[in-house]
Amino acid sequence: MTTRILTGITTTGTPHLGNYAGAIRPAIVASRDLQADSFYFLADYHALIKCDDPQRIQRSRLEIAATWLACGLDADKATFYRQSDIPEIPELTWLLTCVSAKGLLNRAHAYKASVDKNVEAGEDPDAGVTMGLYSYPVLMAADILMFNAHKVPVGRDQIQHVEMARDIGQRFNHLFGNGKELFTLPEAVIEEDVATLPGLDGRKMSKSYDNTIPLFGSSKQLKDAIARIVTDSRAPGEPKDPDNAHLFTLYQAFATAAQLADFRAALLDGLAWGEAKQRLYELLESELGEARERYHTLIARPGDLEDILLAGAAKARRIATPFLGELRESVGLRSFREQAQVAGEGKKKAAKSARIVSFRDDDGSFRFRLLDAAGEQLLLSSSFADGKSAGAVSKRLQSGEALDLRAEGNAFALWLDGAAVAQSPEFADAAARDAAIERVREALAPQE
């Protein structure tokens, strides 16, 4: 079974070495798994919650897109797109907002932290809190549920958001699924062995601490940053303690086992800190040099990046567009043409609660399903080149035209004009098949 993995990258800054080791590198390695269906997106709607500088957001989108591609993400194998290029995501956000409990959102960590800070300062609890911040978990749920991701790699601070996506998806399924699981409930994945790198001062590498090492700065900028790494006062020739040196931790994140063993032995033998920093620089330069060249080539050709991201969005929308159509159908936002018509004042037949649902397939073709009152699929049509052809066939079926249903083993097909136009699922036995055939006849019988 293919596992769908989804990761979002907020576009509010320039990636640094810690981002690369902790998120980018392991995600790209995971995307090469033949059993994985990987979705990576630039979370630029999320960025609007945190940043009100349009130039910074635009620059960050460019830099982060170039970084992922330069580091080896294969956009032909993974689905790589901008969140803002998928209009189905904000529409799904609203559908999910309508079933999300306010009490659930009140418990979100980011919102609670803002409230606690305001209360501590003697201000109104909601001072400075936007609806973007408050509703952030619903947008993240839409990102995940739109593509029915099985696994979502996150940091520990984001586990709650994945759990909230599960709660919201489960609520939607209960209200509108009619026994069908519309949304796959996602699982948060915490990768314990992914490196958390120390910055120049030993604290966690973070832009907020201004202690980062640039990922794709020049060779000189990389060397200058490494030179500023804080070390102890032990002189050349004095043994160093590798396990308490964050310079060693940085080296460990990029070295082979043999390189690391040699580096440890050299420190214990009294390697000077200056020489140790030179070794770290050479190691990082060998890891990042070629990727840096690819990065600057991509930055210089933004049109190419735009084409790659738009192609990724088109690929993502081949999934999102028909799925959103199904969700709209489930909540009652349906085409009037597809509603069963009630003739006279008589009681509507129970079978007439069955419905035909049209959708667009991943390859761009058009199809329809016949669902019974409980939402169970009775028939799935063949592919049509255009929506008009699919609509014409479904309209004929609803007109009361005599049905040609032919058994095929424990399944059956619907024939029209000498060709099979729709196929049933496989049933457990002939009796179940025959019962389903009768349900189709009742569902598509003409009104009295």
Residues making up the binding site for ATP: 10-12, 18-19, 155-157, 197, 204-208
User: Tokens 């199904």 belong to which residue?
Assistant: 326
Residues 6+ apart with CB under 8 A from 228: 200
What residues form the annotated binding site for L-tryptophan? 143
- Tell me, letter by letter, the H, E, C secondary structure of 21-41: HHHHHHHHHHHCCCCEEEEEE
Question: Residue 198 to residues 38, 143, 246, 278: CA-CA distances in angstroms?
Answer: 29, 30, 6, 18
What's the distance, CA 308 to chain centroid? Answer: 17
Residue 429 CB-density burial (10 A; 0-12 exposed, 13-18 middle, 19+ buried): exposed
**How many Å apart are CA 264 and CA 245, to the nearest integer?**
11
E strand residue ranges, 209-284: none
Angstrom distance (rounded) from CA 238 to CA 218: 32
Tokens at 424, concatenated = 């049933």
DSSP 340: P
* Residues flagged as binding site: 10-12, 18-19, 143, 155-157, 197, 204-208
3-state SS assignment for residue 352: helix
* Residues in a beta bridge with 222: none
DSSP assignment letter at 99: T
